[in-house]
Structure 1
């Protein structure tokens, strides 16, 4: 017996409603009343499109339809929003509030393929779904052409997938504005303090508190990457601490520590992964890349701090592999975003280190013959991720042409927006990339 019944009417706009459809819906509601135990009445929900709320000739179409459908014994809730994703997510929240995990969906046969895909993206295996045909007495060709086309759609658009991701994950990258840090190179929203970067801990704590309020996460469940020693080396720093880098561009991911939340925490770690709801994980960056990872299918996420040496060590693929191993993620479902970081316009390394990037991809190095070539650590990260199986279209970096969508800005080139060690020197501030799975 279903504990909730969802009647999918989303594809029907106000112009689609007629007597036959109304009779079909009423008949379905009556059948639910007759089939279910009166002492255990299910939560019944009608899923409708926002267009039904549009006013025509001063009348609310949805209100008029609901007056027809509602009867003395018919109790149901109507949920409508601007798109299918938002409507289903609202319904999911209602199910969670009522502690319901078993749902019968009544819908037209044409809508089933796309609905199953929406459900697989938005719900985990904890929920159990049963699908039943909604019998509409009128012929399909009596419906508007746009309705018929939507019914036959089998796959989700990229726009729908993006909306799904936004409903599942809370995520973002900070800038240097909005905080209370007062040392010039740290002002004003620095999020890291150390003996070398002497922003008072109380100031950093207050900055984080402000971020948590503005972004909507709990400061009590916030965890940031605790970088390995080589990641703490400034970009371009050479000398006694230089790593012995692997002899192959297809790096040995096992050399990088990733903390799997719920397991023992390493002394230091370059990445974090979790599938726990309400926990916010973060990666710092000030020239180094804060990298965020999300799998909307298995509901898991990750964060990594990728400096130039961490990039060569394969920190990003280490996080991807941890998500695959720990949470059963499919590499083709994992989405990756590279945050603000130093661009190839501003970052140089000595010839010896530049060779390592050249071996990954010659396009990662500019002016290769010079003593200090320009290095593109972002491109190197993309090449290594693609080599590990991450789909090219699932990686967002500075290749995004739409400036409104590009978050991989050069930290050195944007002094008003970001901190940069390359530009600011030793006492530089830190911004972060953060992500969490919404409750």
Structure 2
């Protein structure tokens, strides 16, 4: 896995940008306190502003419910903005697809050969249910991607240093994630969401050199301002992680 530090990223004031030949990926931060909450008027305004900033025809997102449900987006098809799910797959060019987070894990997947992309929201429930693995399987089945070409980008999220969970939830994860070493999965009651995501990616066949992670914790990062639901005790600030195919 490649840990992407701030020197590697094309860091704008409001975004971490990753530019590929066939795509642009953005992970928003909170440096300007911009919130991309779909449930507020200001949040919708911020989301729509991405069209001009990134030259997109549309910005597509979901009503996230902490599930393992995955939807495909087809341009000029049925709107999915009010559909309940936690991952989007598309092959449409010039369309931003993205997910909202404020501690949960955002994952972006892209196959530049087949020109297929996905955006995933993985909280503890989605992580427990392996939504990342299931998204890749759907991409294989419905878009015939070659997983050897698939690249994964894991955005800022609450990390093992700060994510304490209940004893009950700890036991559930230990019972479910049997192939992950207990000492890697937990430190006390602090859960490592990323190690579960990495397990899913590797089980799906993604090569280690194609896995990338921005090594920032939403809760304790001092280098960059990030929205943290837990740290702010439930405020409505949201980050938006997205990809646009070119």
TM-score, scaled relative to structure 1 = 0.47
Structure 2 residue aligned with 1:366:
187
* Alpha-carbon distance between aligned partners in 1 of 2:174 and 2:208, rounded to the nearest angstrom: 20
Identify if the C-alpha distance between structure 1 residues 213 and 170 changes in structure 2 by more than 3 Å, giving closer, same or farther.
same
* Aligned residue in 2 for 1:189: 34
- Asked whether 1:169 is paired with 2:23, we answer yes
Deviations, residues 383-410 of structure 1 (Å, cap 9, x unaligned): 122122222222112xxxxxxxxx2410
Aligned-partner Cα distance in 1 for 2:121–2:215: 14
- The structure having more radius of gyration, on CA atoms, is 1
The reply to whether residue 294 of structure 1 matches residue 103 of structure 2 is no
Question: Which structure carries more relative contact order (alpha carbon 8 Å, separation 6+)?
Answer: 2
**In the alignment, which of 218, 222, 237 is matched to residue 59 of structure 2?**
222
Matches within 5 A, 1:338-353: 338-353=154-169
Confirm or deny that 1:312 pairs with 2:128: yes
Shift of 1:348: 0.9
Tell me if structure 1 keeps the 8 A contact 2:107–2:152. yes
Q: Which runs of 5+ in 2 are unaligned?
A: 1-18
Q: Which has the higher helix share?
A: 1
Shift of 1:317: 1.4
Structure 2 partner of 1:323? 139
Residue 257 (str. 1) matches residue 69 (str. 2): yes
Contact 1:282 1:432 in 2 (8 A): yes
Aligned match of 2:13: none
Normalized per residue, which structure has more strand? 2
Post-superposition Cα deviations, 1:160-186, rounded to whole Å, max 9, x if no partner, equal: xxxxx71200111001123xxxxxxxx
Match of 1:422 in 2: 230
**Aligned counterparts, 1:17-166, within 5 A:** 166=20
Deviation at 1:193, TM superposition (A): 4.3
Distance in 2 (alpha carbons) for counterparts of 1:204 and 1:350: 32
CA contact (8 A) 2:59 2:97 kept: yes
CA deviations 1:78-134 (Å, max 9, x no partner) are xxxxxxxxxxxxxxxxxxxxxxxxxxxxxxxxxxxxxxxxxxxxxxxxxxxxxxxxx
Q: CA separation in 2, counterparts of 1:170 and 1:303? A: 13
Query: 1:432 aligns to what SS in structure 2?
Result: strand
| Structure 1 position 394 matched with structure 2 position 210 | yes
TM-score, reference length from structure 2: 0.82
- CA offsets 1:140-175 (integer angstroms, 9 cap, x no match): xxxxxxxxxxxxxxxxxxxxxxxxx71200111001
Q: Distance in 2 between matches of 1:205 and 1:226?
A: 13
Q: Which runs of 5+ in 1 are unaligned?
A: 1-164, 179-187, 195-199, 232-254, 368-372, 398-406
